[in-house]
Copies of this chain bind each other. A is one copy, B any other.
Amino acid sequence: MDLFEAIKNRYSYRGEYKEIEIPIKHLKQVVEAGLQAPSGSNKQTTSFVIVNDEIILNKIREVLPKVKPIQTTSAIILCIMDKNPEQIHGNPHYEIEDCSAATENMLIAITALGYASVWLDGILRSDQIAENLGEIINLPKTKTVRIVLPIGIPTIDGPRPDKLPFDQRAWFNQYNGE
């Protein structure tokens, strides 16, 4: 799929998925897109666990009972970063940037392959959800699950939120916003 088409077609899908198996080849292709994202000082701080085993999927479903795509998906990608990232060159670390860039690459790759996903993030940071997910995938205590992406084929055409027009968020040569 054309890059600009994939970027335009990506959206956050929060409904149920069709019952299908996602080919391993597609899952690898999505994660390869994540691996190719840039990272601060090329530290490649993000790692990935792809869950497609039904027993592990069920454990994850128990941790996120209200999230429809998680309940109905056959594959989930968990994005891992350090729990307490070290500084780089005296500057703050870039692990959130690294993880986010990798996630965006994966989201548009998911779109290009005919699936939809949703960037699950804040929900992991309450009720020990990130910690519980970490235990399920055998994560060391020095790491944390930062972002979770379910993958599947939507059963409905989900709503697209409105986006502000160009001239409310972008300007030439001088800032012209609030």
Contacts and interface: CB of A to CB of B under 8 A. Distances in A.
Interface residues of A, number: 72
B125 A92 contact: yes
A138 B174 CA distance: 6
Interface string A65-84: 00000000000000010000
Contacts of A46: 169
A50 B171 contact: yes
A96 interface: yes
15 contacts: A1-B2, A1-B3, A3-B108, A4-B29, A34-B170, A37-B104, A47-B175, A47-B177, A50-B170, A50-B173, A51-B172, A53-B173, A100-B100, A140-B175, A143-B175
Q: How many copies does the complex hold?
A: 2
Contacts of A174: 49, 56, 137-138
Contacts of A162: 42
A161 B42 contact: yes
A36 interface: yes
Contacts of A115: none
Nearest to A48: B170
A114 interface: no
B4 A2 contact: no
